[in-house]
Amino acid sequence: MNDTAGTALPVLVEEIRRILDRPPARLTAGLHLQHDLGFDSVMMLQLKGCLEARFPALREASLPDMLLGAQTIGALAGRLERMAGLPVA
């Protein structure tokens, strides 16, 4: 699968689904990573590792640059698209 052909949102939802073991239909762009989904620092590190594997351009980014401050799934997808050089949806 070539992740650079699309947007980051479906990839992000897939990786969050794996970490949380939740159905993807329940993961919408407006959900807050910490308040709605219960993400903690360990989960954030796990997500960063998964995203680096899917988007090699993110390997040089620090955790704060990549994840912190992007509070919703949609906001994080937009940040990842910009950082990885993907077309922004």
> pTM to 2 decimals?
0.84
CATH no. of 3-84: 1.10.1200.10
Domain boundaries defined on the chain: 3-84
Quick: pLDDT tens for 24-60: 888 999 999 999 999 999 999 999 999 999 988 888 9
In degrees, rounded to 5, the angle at the alpha carbon of residue 43 between the alpha carbons of residues 78 and 28 is 45
Contact assessment for residue 48 and residue 63, using Cβ atoms and an 8 Å cutoff: yes
pLDDT, residue 88, reads 52
